[in-house]
Structure 1
Amino acid sequence: MATTDRQATTLALAHALSAAERGLAVIPLSRTKLPALRSPHRGQPDPGPCHGECGRFGHGVYDASTDPVRIRELFAAAPWATGYGIACGLPPHHLIGIDLDTKSGTDSSAALRELALRHLFTIPETVVVLTPSGGRHLWLTGPSDVAVPNSAGRLAPGIDIRGAGGYLVGPGSRTEHGVYGTAPGTARLPPAPCPPALLRLLLPAPRPTHPATHPSAGDHGQGLVQFVLAAHEGQRNTRLFWAACRAYENGIGPALVAPLIDAALNTGLTEREARATIASAARMTGHRP
């Protein structure tokens, strides 16, 4: 390995350990920005899903850790790594990355400002990472009970979202196109909470559904209840949070609490989990739970 590559790996490990000290779970990345460790199941016929239960490295963000011993082991297994990725959606920060790209030919920063004006939110001061191509990554935090999905261009052209199951290239990483670094004055800022109005835009929109039959839901709430009832494991809290936000925004939040809890119980959530998620939605929309 060339000396410059060894230096890049040493620096990447140092930056990764520093990020871990701030509670950010990390994995080693190659110069292509992909996880440096390949799947141990490659080449196996229909290996089935494995998120690291096999005990071996090579499961992408499922390898991510804040444990310095494990991080050193990951980098030792990938001595060609020149960067590190920060897993999104994990405690304690529940990181959400707003990736403002420059390669799409659109002004993604202007698109985000337009969204902020249209939906009445302000982008807070937070960590900003500058990419070699001239783009920016904004670091925000989300609620612990809501999983923000990854998306590309759904919010607006040139704006990608890194949420649960995704990762951000950490500052100090060296890639084929250059080095990632924090914008001046933002390196020591804590990731700021995602504005509620922006958070609602990041959550999946409900699909057309058949009306629910809960007697106290009313016409306006039937679709929201059905939206929760159609949730699969892994999206139950997110759908419940989204539906509760819509209910409070439309003035039917208090009347819909019981129907939404009933729907959540039907999907497998506990009453405690459902009430906590609905209360979080109430606070996010400026109402008392």
Structure 2
Amino acid sequence: MPRNVSVPARRTPSPLPFFEHVYENGAMATTDRQATTLALAHALSAAERGLAVIPLSRTKLPALRSPHHDDPEPAGPPCHGECGRFGHGVHDASTDPARIRALFAAAPRATGYGIACGLPPHHLIGVDLDTKTGTDARAALRELALRHLFTIPATVVVLTPSGGRHLWLTGPPDVVVPNSAGRLAPGIDIRGAGGYLVGPGSRTDHGAYAAAPGTAHLPPAPCPPALLRLLLPPPRAHHPTPAPAGGHGQGLVQFVLAAHEGQRNTRLFWAACRAYEDGIGPLLVDPLVAAARTTGLSEREARATIASAARMTAHRS
């Protein structure tokens, strides 16, 4: 071999056979196809743990376009998948491996996956501690915990590309936790029913999501009751009028009547909790059921939610 001729070093194979590396302008990146394969593998693994998933694009949005995008304005409620086609966002979420593979096959540019919150068996609640606002969301959560006397248990923690954290908690099966942004404190967002969390292993335009060391094997921990109460929305300011159960009872009924879609169960549960805490729960059951039916809930759903509130308030006393 001639002198002064260097021999290129042998490349070390990737630890994952389907996760190969390519180089663009000297930087390491994965092709979209490889990222999709990896995202599907992670999504299937999450589904094995009972977490319902959907494919996401590099922008963290659902990767499948709505099949109703070009439809005329609907006369009735929006379709949440009743049409049988893909493209309904978090309503497509599934734990069925065959359906998940079909979702990813229909979304060949997906590079990540979302985990639907609020669904059985975990009824996942995501606490998103952001850093982009310039505030210390982790310190704000610690302050809330000290003020309201709760402790965040050991649970799954996902690190975001921006330096934030997602804490995974579980909620009671009959409590609907709504999504919120900055309501608890600046930089703290909540992912509840109808929302989703970006799953660990997902790749986005800003980087990859990964489980914090030592947390990937943990099950999502139950949400502390004191924190759970903070996650339910406060009532609107109102001017109640007299009612058989008193002015406060009428105010709670009006609070339920003012609910929009996506808030109905949450508002009904909150109002029923307040009614039972104030000793007027039994008197207010029928008025609350009637108000809930006006907003679109069935009588069975309404009575189940009120019964849940009665059980929860009984446990606190």
Scaled to the shorter chain, the TM-score interval is 0.7 to 0.9
2:183 matched residue in structure 1: 154
Comparing 139-148 with 38-47, greater Cα deviation is found at: 38-47
Number of residue-to-residue matches in the alignment:
284
Comparing 98-107 with 139-148, greater Cα deviation is found at: 139-148
Cα deviation, residue 285, structure 1: 4.4
Cα deviation, residue 257, structure 1: 2.7
Kindly provide the amino acid, as one letter, of the partner of residue 119 in structure 1. Answer: H
1:182 matched residue in structure 2: 211
1:136 matched residue in structure 2: 165
How do 1:137-286 residues align onto structure 2 when only pairs under 5 Å count? Answer: 137-215=166-244, 217-232=245-260, 234-248=262-276, 251-253=277-279, 255-268=280-293, 273-285=301-313
Comparing 58-67 with 234-243, greater Cα deviation is found at: 234-243
Kindly provide the amino acid, as one letter, of the partner of residue 42 in structure 1. Answer: H
1:25 matched residue in structure 2: 52
Inter-CA distance 9–163: structure 2 relative to 1 (3 Å threshold): same
Which ranges of 4 or more aligned residues in structure 1 deviate by more than 6 Å? none
1:123 matched residue in structure 2: 152
1:7 matched residue in structure 2: 34
Cα deviation, residue 96, structure 1: 1.2
Q: Work out whether residues 200 and 211 of structure 2, in 8 Å CA contact, stay in contact via their aligned partners in 1.
A: yes
Q: Work out whether residues 181 and 190 of structure 2, in 8 Å CA contact, stay in contact via their aligned partners in 1.
A: yes
* SS in structure 1 at match of 2:134: coil
Kindly provide the amino acid, as one letter, of the partner of residue 263 in structure 1. Answer: L
Identical residues among aligned pairs (%): 83
Cα deviation, residue 141, structure 1: 1.6
Q: Work out whether residues 243 and 249 of structure 2, in 8 Å CA contact, stay in contact via their aligned partners in 1.
A: no
Kindly provide the amino acid, as one letter, of the partner of residue 7 in structure 1. Answer: Q
Comparing 51-60 with 9-18, greater Cα deviation is found at: 51-60
Structure 2: runs of 5+ lacking an equivalent: 1-21, 23-29
- Superposed CA deviations along residues 4-49 of structure 1, whole A, max 9, x for unmatched, are 3322111110110111111111111111111111122334443563
Q: Work out whether residues 228 and 264 of structure 1, in 8 Å CA contact, stay in contact via their aligned partners in 2.
A: no
Inter-CA distance 151–47: structure 2 relative to 1 (3 Å threshold): same
* SS in structure 1 at match of 2:166: strand
Cα deviation, residue 84, structure 1: 0.4
Q: Work out whether residues 148 and 203 of structure 1, in 8 Å CA contact, stay in contact via their aligned partners in 2.
A: yes
Q: Work out whether residues 178 and 266 of structure 2, in 8 Å CA contact, stay in contact via their aligned partners in 1.
A: no
RMSD value, Cα:
2.4
Q: For the residues of structure 1 that align with 2:178 and 2:259, how far apart are their CA atoms?
A: 14
Q: Work out whether residues 228 and 260 of structure 1, in 8 Å CA contact, stay in contact via their aligned partners in 2.
A: no
* SS in structure 1 at match of 2:239: coil
Q: For the residues of structure 1 that align with 2:189 and 2:165, how far apart are their CA atoms?
A: 11
Q: Work out whether residues 120 and 173 of structure 2, in 8 Å CA contact, stay in contact via their aligned partners in 1.
A: yes
Q: For the residues of structure 2 that align with 1:271 and 1:285, how far apart are their CA atoms?
A: 21
Kindly provide the amino acid, as one letter, of the partner of residue 13 in structure 1. Answer: L
Cα deviation, residue 74, structure 1: 0.8
Inter-CA distance 46–15: structure 2 relative to 1 (3 Å threshold): same
* SS in structure 2 at match of 1:51: coil
Comparing 85-94 with 263-272, greater Cα deviation is found at: 263-272
Structure exhibiting the larger radius of gyration computed from Cα positions? 2
Normalising by structure 1, we get a TM-score of: 0.88
Q: Work out whether residues 149 and 203 of structure 1, in 8 Å CA contact, stay in contact via their aligned partners in 2.
A: yes
* SS in structure 2 at match of 1:287: helix
Cα deviation, residue 91, structure 1: 1.7
Cα deviation, residue 235, structure 1: 3.2
Cα deviation, residue 95, structure 1: 1.3
Q: For the residues of structure 2 that align with 1:66 and 1:111, how far apart are their CA atoms?
A: 34
